[in-house]
Each structure stands twice: as C-alpha cells, then as structure tokens.
Amino acid sequence: MKKWKHLLKAVMAAGVIAMTAVQICAAAEGTAQAAASDVTPVSISTNEIAGWPAGPEITSETGVLMDADSGTLLYSKGGDEIRYPASITKIMTLLLAVENCSLKEDVVFTETGTRDISWDSGNIGMQVGEVMSMRACLYALVIRSANEVAAQIAEHVGGTEQHFVDMMNERAAQIGCTNTHFVNASGLPDPDHYSTAHDMALIMREGLKNKKFRRIIGATDYTIKPTNMNSESRVLHTHHPMLAPESSYHYDGCIGGKTGYTSEAGNTLVTAAEKNGTTYITVTMKAADLAVASTDSTALFNYGYQNFTKAQVNGGEVSVPNGVTVDNLTVQENSQNGNTVDDYYYNDYLLGSVEVPEATPTPEPAADALSDTSGGNTDQNEKSDTVGEEKTSAGMPELRKILLIIGAAMLLLIIILSIALAKKEKKILWLSLHIMWIYANRYNRNTEKAKEKRKIKWEKSKLQNVVELRD
C-alpha cells in the first residue's frame, strides 16, 4: 500500500512539474509574440517608384542611401521611422563645434564632463581640471566616442549643456530634419532623444560641406599629447569597420563615419563614401551587431554605384537610374529666397532641386552707347572730354606744366641776377627782366587762345548733340 502511495505522489509531482513547464513555455512564447508585434515590418519605399532599380534587402530595421550632392534618397527602408541614434548623435556635436569655435581653444574639464565616465561607456578618462585642446577633444569625440568629452564640448561651446542642446535642435531644424530631438550631446539613452535614418543622413551631408568636419570624421588614428594631469599620450584608433584599413569590412572609397550602440538603440552606423566624383551617405539603424550594419551599408553603397549615374541639367546635375536621360524627367520651376529653382522629377519622384543661373547680359558696343546717350549722360561725357583737353600733347597736366615753367623762369632769373651783380651791369639786369616779361606775356596769350579753342569745341559738341536729339 505504501508503495502505491509513494508512486501516486511521484506521478502527481511529475504532473505539476510538467504543467509548470508548459505554462513557462506558453508565457515565453506570448512574450516573444508581443515583442514581435511591437516592431512593424518596414518596407523599402523606394522600390515602389515606377522604373526605379530594386534595392537590396537589408537586415537593419531602417536604412537609407543618400546622394550627398543633391540630398536625394536613392534608397529608403523606413527612412523616416523614429529610432534611438546612440553615439551617431556625436555627428551633430562635431558639426556645431567646428562651426562655433577654433580647434586651438583650450577646453578645461569640469564636473559636467567627468560625471559621464563609466566603465560601460566610451571615454578617455578625463579628470576635473584637466586641459585639452578642442582639436584633441573632437578627435576623441569621433574616434573613441568619448561621452565625457561630448558633455564638456557642449558646455564649452554652448556655455551650458542645455544651451548647446538647444543649439543642436535648432541646427537640425535648419538642415531640414523633421523627426529629430536631442537631449544630450553624446547619445546616451533617453526616451526623448531620437532621430531617423533620413535626418541623420541630412546632418552628415551638412557636415561634409565643412573641411574641418570632413577631416576629423575621416580620421583613422590620432595621438593625444600629455596634458597637465596626464603624463602619458593617449593613442586613438577608429572603431568604424568600413574605415579601418585592417578590417575585413573595409570599404574602398570610405571617407568617414560614426558608429553607435546602446541596448535600446542596437547598432547604428553612419558612413560616407566617394567614387568617381560621386559621394553617397548610408545610415543604418538598429542592426543586430556592427558586422550586420557594415554589411548592410556596403550593400547600399554597391547598389548606388552600380545603378545610378549623374545627368547634367541647367545649373547642375542630378542622380538618375542608369539609362534615364534628361528627356525622361519633368521640371517644375519655383522660387526660393528670391532665386529661381528647377525641381527635377522622375515618375513623380523628386530627384533634386537646382538653382537656375542668371543670364549674363551682353554688353552694348561703346559706339552705340555714345549715340544713345541721354542729355544727362551727355553732360558727363562732355566733362570727361574737357578733362582730356586740359592735358598737353604729351599727356602732361596743365598744372604741372605751369609749375615747370615758373621754376625754369626763376632759375634763369637767378642766373641772370647773379651775372648782373657780378659785373655790376644794370643794362644786363634790365634786359633780363624785359625778356622775362616778353616770355610771360607770350605764355598768357597762348593760354587764352587754348581756352578759346576749347570753348569753341565744346559749343560745337553741344550743338551736335542737340541736332542728334532733334533727329
């Protein structure tokens, strides 16, 4: 009997364990389904454009390929879907820093910067009171993704962190970002800190227009010299797989970019590449790991360079699918800031906007301009001619001639007086004075004749203009 009781207890215990296991599995399955339902599958919107080359299937939740020259999206998978950016936020921090301060400025670290140092976040171990140049700060910001440096840059440039954050959001709006809001300069997690793949591409595009930005974002290595509180150099090397020469994910033509990661954001990646004079920007957000983000970005670059070319239009150029010509495009003229702008469309998809250059007016021949001159301009021309008549045949101004004559006469007079005094001859003195009088009188007569000739010429010119106007 006891054996049966023990057997019954064992069976019941096994049943309880089995039921518990079933419940745990069911709960896990339900949780997984719920998590999956929170992520809406994102389609490739550019594949819906008629006649557009089919884009690659990337595994990152969202991603874009942008033509850096025109700002046109050649590929978009959820390009306007909001995601956490993580450390690619630092692209905006870099842009504001190079736009608002000198690289030679000294940055003094305070509690603001050093408080963001932790073992699980990017940093270079700065201390309160430590001084480092802005140049070194920016390389540390990009290459090492140092969060304490980002916070200190914000305080240095903006006066306060909050003011710098306000500057970030204002600048993002100026660039054209519509779904971006920053709350810090580093990208550390915050529910109200978000962006999109499209907006981050716009920020990167704006940055590439700045030479300082371009140089720093494309650096693979940098050595920070010893500071007032650190006797050792800090050697930095890029973590961007597509930029690092030794990486198996290195992309030929890569000119820079920024990585990012938090558990909430996943892996984010911004990359720029240039080949054959064409610059593209890729952004991938919420990838499973950095390798996936790099693979997706490579696929997008290859897609762009293999399927698109530049078409010359009035005032510039736009990217078009291979085989498409200007004749296949439609143009819509509009005005922006007082300038005429042509918008180019392919099957109702905007490829880019180009400012139309103003036509250069053809200058009129000088002879025609003189013959068509009105009365007011005629007076001005006559004055100019008069000024020309007041020069000698050799081009010497009248005033200079008079001064030379007076000088020569005075010199001659001095010589004669000296001779007269030496010989005590009054006749010589009288004769010299008489000669000077004759010479001066003759010059006055010549001057009066010249004035009379100019007056007659001016009267004839005036009469001729009147006749022409009557005709």
Confidence of residue 165 (pLDDT cuts 50, 70, 90): very high
Mean of all residue pLDDT scores within the chain: 81
Closest by CA to 83, choosing from 43, 42, 50, 47, is: 42
> Cα(186)–Cα(149) distance, rounded to whole angstroms?
9
Kindly give the interhelix angle for 375-389 and 426-470, rounded to the nearest 10 degrees. 160
Pairing label, strands 330-336, 339-346: antiparallel
| pTM (predicted TM-score) | 0.69
* Distance from C-alpha of 381 to C-alpha of 378, rounded to nearest angstrom: 5
Question: pLDDT: is 386 or 346 the higher one?
Answer: 346
Structure tokens at 408: 């020569």
Report in angstroms the alpha-carbon separations of 428 from 413, 423, 439: 11, 9, 16
The H-or-E segment that residue 352 falls in is: strand 349-355
Measured CA to CA, the distance from residue 67 to residue 73 in angstroms comes to: 6
The residue behind tokens 């529910």 is 191
DSSP labels, 397-449: BHHHHHHHHHHHHHHHHHHHHHHHHHHT-HHHHHHHHHHHHHHHHHHHHHHHH
φ, ψ at 340 (rounded to 5°): -85, 130
Rounded to whole angstroms, the Cα distance separating 142 from 90 reads 7
Nearest-angstrom CA–CA distance, 78 and 201: 13
The pLDDT value given to residue 22: 38
Residue 430 confidence (pLDDT): 64
Distance of alpha carbon 47 from alpha carbon 262, whole angstroms:
30
Q: What are 251's two structure tokens?
A: 């992309």
- In the prediction, which pLDDT does 175 show? 97
The phi and psi torsions of 268 (rounded to 5 degrees) equal -120, 150
Please give the backbone phi and psi of residue 262, each rounded to the nearest 5 degrees, phi first. -145, 165
Q: Give the residue numbers annotated as catalytic, written as ranges.
A: 87, 90, 145
Helix H or strand E encompassing 235: strand 234-237
Residue 127 has pLDDT above 60, yes or no: yes
Helix (H, G, I), strand (E, B) or coil at 218: coil
pLDDT recorded at residue 111: 93
Residue 199: pLDDT over 90: yes
Nearest Cα to Cα of residue 83 among 179, 171, 178: 179
d(CA 285, CA 178): 17
Average pLDDT score over residue span 32-40: 42
In this prediction, residue 32 has a pLDDT band, given cuts at 50, 70 and 90, of very low
Q: If you ran DSSP here, which 8-state letter would residue 143 be given? A: I
pLDDT band for 400, please (50, 70, 90 cuts). low
More confident residue, 150 or 461: 150
Q: Indicate the SS3 state at residue 154.
A: helix
C-alpha 448/C-alpha 434 separation (Å) is 21
Residue indicated by tokens 């978000």: 194
Cα dist from 165 to 55, 100, 257, 444, whole Å: 36, 14, 22, 82
**In 263-360, at which residue ranges do the beta strands (DSSP E only) sit?**
266-275, 278-287, 308-313, 316-321, 330-336, 339-346, 349-355
Of all residues in the chain, the percent with pLDDT exceeding 90 is: 61
Report the distance separating Cα 371 and Cα 466, nearest Å.
12
Containing 385, the helix (H) or strand (E) segment is: helix 375-389
Tell me if 201 sits within 8 A of 238, measured CB to CB: no
pLDDT at residue 465 above 90? no
pLDDT at 261 exceeding the cut of 60: yes
Predicted pLDDT of residue 9: 47
Give the integer Cα–Cα distance in Å for 333 and 353. 9
Q: Is 244 buried (19+), middle (13-18) or exposed (0-12) by CB count in 10 A?
A: middle
Q: Which residues does 270 contact at the CB level (< 8 Å), separation at least 6?
A: 88, 91, 200, 201, 204, 257, 258, 281, 282, 283
State the CATH class of domain 45-309: alpha beta
Q: What is the band of 349 on the pLDDT scale with cuts at 50, 70, 90?
A: very high
Say yes or no to pLDDT of 371 above 50.
no
Q: Which residues contact 110 (CB under 8 A, 6 or more apart)?
A: 128, 152, 155
User: Which tokens is 349 given?
Assistant: 């998809």
